[in-house]
């Protein structure tokens, strides 16, 4: 007996049946519910006009995260609470502080982007009420505005915290003992979500299409084995575009998001084991603990809403040559654990990629986890993404350098590169040029020349082949400038950081 999709919409329970599972949340909100406050701009996760906030049971209270409704598939909301701009008005009818702040600070002109900005700010208001300027910038990295120039919106992000909140969706507070306090509305939502919980997962069918969302990894393994031709879908930040841009029918869909054990991030003897269904946001936070040098690269990966929906397993399995996590994971010697039925196998991540968009995944097999070994002593680690824009852009080139130094020499070197080959690749010749050499300007220069010539990249709209080669060589030189004897400051904002944090 097919089950309906159940979730909370602006605090009210809804059940959906008969709708094709590849329907996006945006289409459903606008076409089926006539909630047209949520806009469609790009329909590919880039502009943020469609941003809504999704809350789910978290540690203390709820986790509130912005997501792009345009590429989020409707059944993936099962058991969650969705908030749209229509739901923010407070019980007394007044505007929510986020909305009021946008009005007071003139944060809206034509208004098309405004609901999306309001929802991104609402997500921040609920999750990080004392956000720093850098956190505000990051929270808004997925929202584009053609009119305001952003300054009034940033002012609203400041102002929203000064306005009183009536009963409604208040910011969390802190009790005298430092614990997080939550408002009664949030508590009520948490209780309602408890009642919607479906430990066995969801088996849904609508308009002749099936959505299987197994409740744990074992059940997922059984479903993948039973339906080897089904499309696996995690956060749909790649798959969603197959629907909205390529208008593809996806057939039976197997969703990884209900298997909570597949989202676990654990510290094991082998290292940090990141479940394939862990969100990019959670995976990057865990990697930040062990490898803080990578923080900036993760901050530049898409935008906050994409990192909230997208998963590390999806990035790795998608295998795009311009994917950003893989070059870094390859440099960190990560391994990928694949599972088919009860059989598991482990591969070095670089061996997972066979050719352009071709991976070692067999029929019925899926990515179960990614394991990153513990860091060694004296690791010199840097990763740089080169793209036309700082935020929310695709890499023209990406390089991650992991040099194990010992006694002034390079004991071992691993370099992962993206955007320069048909697959995420290791720069083995350059690694060999570094291996065992004194860590010096001369060695770095030889390695830079080797790296510039190591790959045969292509010309495309993001960069020419010549630029890509040259930029890789220059990143090697930068590694020496930042991590060699001189420790040069290579960026203007680095110089400013020592005096006044951004």
Of the listed pieces 146-154, 195-203, 262-270, 443-451, which binds ligand FES according to CB under 6 A? 146-154
Concatenated DSSP letters for 208-239? TEEEEEESSHHHHHHHHHH-TTSEEESS-TTH
Q: Which of 37, 112, 215, 484 binds ligand FES (CB under 6 A)?
A: 112
**Chain residue whose CB lies nearest ligand FAD:** 314
Among 379, 411, 385, which residue's Cα sits nearest to residue 400? 385
Site mask for ligand FAD (CB under 6 A), range 265-284, x = bound? -----------x---x----
Return the residue of 118, 157, 294, 367 that touches ligand FAD, per CB under 6 A.
Answer: 367
User: CA 39 to CA 86: how far, in whole Å?
Assistant: 12
Angle at CA 266, nearest 5°, toward 261 and 271? 135
* Contact indicator for 287, 295 with CB cutoff of 8 Å: no
Whether residue 73 contacts residue 23, with contact meaning beta carbons closer than 8 Å, is answered with: yes
310 makes contact with ligand FAD (CB under 6 A): yes
Verify binding: residue 317, ligand FAD, rule CB under 6 A: yes
Query: Shortest CA distance to 444 belongs to which of 416, 484, 411?
Result: 484
**Using rule CB under 6 A, residue 259 touches ligand FES:** no
Q: Which span (38-46, 121-129, 212-220, 470-478) binds ligand FES, by CB under 6 A? A: 38-46
Cα→Cα distances 60→77, 128, 373, Å: 21, 13, 30
Contact between 242 and ligand FES per CB under 6 A? no
40 near ligand FES (CB under 6 A): yes
How many angstroms separate the CA atoms of 74 and 233, rounded? 12
Alpha carbon distance 195, 85 (integer Å): 25
Q: Contact between 233 and ligand FAD (CB under 6 A)?
A: yes
**DSSP bridge partners of 7:** 14
Pick one of 84, 318, 430, 443: the residue that binds ligand FAD (CB under 6 A): 318
Q: Does 69 bind ligand FAD (CB under 6 A)?
A: no
- Cα 140 to Cα 49, 66, 183, 306: the distances in Å are 11, 10, 25, 12
User: x-or-dash pattern for ligand FAD, window 26-55, by CB under 6 A?
Assistant: ------------------xxx---------
Residue 42 as a binder of ligand FES (CB under 6 A): the answer is yes
Q: Does 148 bind ligand FES (CB under 6 A)?
A: yes
- For residue 359, the partner it binds in ligand FES, ligand FAD, none, with Cβ less than 5 to 8 A by kind, is none
Instruction: Return the residue of 145, 283, 317, 463 that touches ligand FES, per CB under 6 A.
Output: 145
Binding site for ligand FES (CB under 6 A): 40-43, 45-50, 68, 70, 108-114, 145-148
């Amino acid at each position: 007996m097919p089950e309906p999709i159940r979730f909370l919409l602006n605090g009210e329970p809804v059940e959906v049946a008969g709708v094709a599972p590849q329907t996006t949340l945006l289409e459903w909100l606008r076409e089926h519910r006539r909630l047209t406050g949520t806009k469609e701009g790009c329909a590919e996760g880039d502009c943020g006009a469609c941003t809504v906030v999704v809350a789910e049971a978290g540690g203390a209270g709820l986790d509130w995260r912005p997501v792009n409704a345009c590429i989020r598939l409707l059944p993936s909301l099962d058991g969650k609470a969705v908030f749209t701009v229509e739901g923010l008005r407070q019980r007394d009818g007044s505007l929510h502080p986020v909305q009021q702040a946008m009005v007071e600070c003139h944060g809206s002109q034509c208004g098309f982007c405004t609901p999306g900005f309001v929802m991104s700010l609402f997500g921040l208001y609920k999750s990080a009420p004392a956000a720093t300027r850098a956190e505000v910038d990051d929270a808004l990295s997925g929202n584009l505005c053609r009119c305001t120039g952003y300054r009034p919106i940033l002012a609203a992000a400041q102002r929203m915290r000064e306005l009183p909140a009536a009963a409604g969706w208040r910011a969390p507070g802190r009790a005298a003992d430092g614990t997080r306090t939550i408002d009664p509305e949030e508590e009520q939502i948490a209780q309602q979500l408890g009642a919607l919980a479906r430990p066995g997962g969801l088996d849904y069918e609508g308009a002749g299409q099936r959505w299987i969302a197994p409740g744990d990894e074992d059940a997922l393994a059984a479903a993948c084995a039973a339906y080897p031709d089904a499309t696996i879908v995690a956060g749909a930040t790649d798959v969603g575009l197959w629907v909205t841009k390529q208008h593809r029918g996806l057939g039976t869909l197997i969703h990884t998001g209900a298997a909570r054990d597949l989202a676990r991030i654990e510290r094991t003897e082998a290292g940090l084991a990141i479940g394939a269904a862990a969100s990019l946001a959670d995976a990057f936070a865990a990697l930040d603990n062990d490898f803080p040098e990578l923080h900036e690269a993760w901050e530049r990966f898409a935008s906050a809403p994409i990192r909230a929906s997208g998963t590390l397993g999806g990035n790795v399995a998608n295998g795009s040559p311009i994917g950003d996590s893989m070059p870094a994971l390859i440099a960190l010697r990560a391994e990928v654990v694949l599972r088919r039925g009860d059989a598991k196998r482990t591969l070095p991540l670089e061996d997972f990629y066979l050719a352009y968009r071709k991976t070692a995944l067999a029929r019925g097999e899926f990515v179960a986890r990614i394991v990153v070994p513990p860091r060694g002593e004296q690791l010199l680690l840097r990763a740089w993404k080169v793209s036309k824009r700082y935020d929310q852009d695709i890499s023209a080139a990406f390089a991650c350098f992991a040099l194990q130094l010992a006694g002034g020499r390079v004991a071992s070197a691993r370099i992962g590169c993206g955007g320069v080959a048909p697959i995420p690749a290791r720069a083995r010749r350059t690694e060999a040029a570094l291996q065992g050499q004194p860590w010096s300007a001369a060695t770095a220069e030889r390695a830079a020349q080797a790296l510039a010539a190591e790959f045969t990249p292509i010309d495309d709209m993001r960069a020419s082949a010549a630029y890509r080669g040259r930029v890789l060589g220059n990143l090697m030189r930068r590694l020496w400038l930042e991590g060699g004897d001189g420790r040069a400051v290579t960026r203007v904002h680095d110089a400013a950081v020592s005096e006044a944090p951004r």
